[in-house]
Chain A
Amino acid sequence: MITEEMLREAAHKASEVYTAYCERDYDPENQYVFPQEFEKKIERLKHRATHPVFYKTMHRVASIILSILITGSAWITVDAEARAAVVGWVKEIYETYFVFRHDRITNTATESADYRPTWLPDGYSEFRVSATEARTVVIYANDAGEMIRFNYIHNPDETDWFIDVSQSDIKNATVNGNEADLLIVQNSDEANGIAWVSADTAFYVTGFVDENDLVRIAESVQEI
């Protein structure tokens, strides 16, 4: 019968054989050096083990911040007014309208800049300028009575600007790096338009010109 003592002795011998096998190439002069990254990891683990309260608190703070970020992002996604309050101008589609919304985030002490297009198709000249506190409209006309209307809104207060797009195809475009919307009517007898936001100002140009000329007019707009 195998006793417990015999089993223990056998296990001890097996352990010695296994240790001898593992240490067969061991050279005390040339010990294995652990990589620095591994050492750092071990240090971090030790630090974590010795400061459990600090790490638990940090976890909780991170969870709260993450919750606030997720809730805030969801709110901003759903609520256009909240979005406008955070990012300034917001464009949304409401029934047959493009609505440019702006909430009061701009420093009202900042003076509004004046803008004009520096390029227009041949034959157009300034016909009328109308400026209110919020909005500037410049109308250019040619000899045929066709008009190009250049509008911009720089109101630092709450603003809702509705542009009827029920009869237009909407195309994406870029104006000097800013996203823009081309409102194109497939009929040369009708006005096309382009709308974009730049420097906290919403711009909108309409005219009896094609989309290439609209983009060219938009890209030529400069502060005067």
Chain B
Amino acid sequence: MVKKIGSLVVLLALILAIPAHAASLRLVDVLPDVTFANNNAMCSVEIYADRTNDRISATMELWQGTQRIGTWNDSDSGYLFMEESVRVEANKIYKLVVNYSINGVSKNPVTIYRSNG
């Protein structure tokens, strides 16, 4: 009986903890960018969370059509800045996708398009 009540309490705590944790994710802002110089693309993203101890993890991917040109991961607390360079072709449209999570909770990915030429 005690085990059953204990299990229920743990389950209830988990159920309550999920929305409480998710609810603490407020007003995150994301600034992705791709700039081109010659045949190089400089991909960057800045992510700010609300608190200095919010754990931010992100994956940045650069796509040209269906081909993935590059993928990079990083994580930090409170603020995350990633900047990576990769060789690209002229006169093509590139897509930068940023998948990220705050304190382990995934957020909707952010996508931008930029043209090289």
Q: Do A and B bind each other?
A: yes
Which A176-199 residues have C-beta < 8 A from chain B? 183, 185, 187, 190-193
Q: How far is the CB of B93 from chain A (nearest CB, A)?
A: 12
Q: How far is the CB of B113 from chain A (nearest CB, A)?
A: 9
Q: Check A164/B29 contact, CB under 8 A, given A96-B108, A158-B114.
A: yes
Judge whether A162 and B27 touch: CB under 8 Å: no
Which residue from chain A places its CB closest to the CB of B114 in the assembled complex? A158
In the complex, what residues of A have CB within 8 A of residue B26's CB?
Answer: 164, 167-168, 185, 190-191, 206
Judge whether B32 and A162 touch: CB under 8 Å: yes
Chain A positions near chain B (C-beta within 8 angstroms): 95-97, 130, 132, 134-135, 137, 147, 149, 151, 153, 157-168, 183, 185, 187, 190-193, 204, 206
Q: Choose from A157, A160, A161, A206 the contact partner of B50 (Cβ within 8 Å).
A: A206
Interface residues of chain A: helix, strand, loop or mixed (majority): strand
Q: How far is the CB of A209 from chain B (nearest CB, A)?
A: 13
Assuming A160-B31, A164-B108, A206-B26, what are 18 further A-B pairs, CB within 8 angstroms? Answer: A95-B108, A97-B30, A134-B31, A134-B33, A160-B32, A161-B31, A162-B31, A162-B110, A163-B29, A164-B25, A164-B27, A167-B23, A167-B25, A167-B27, A168-B27, A185-B26, A191-B50, A206-B27
Chain B positions near chain A (C-beta within 8 angstroms): 22-33, 35, 46, 48, 50-52, 79, 107-108, 110, 112, 114
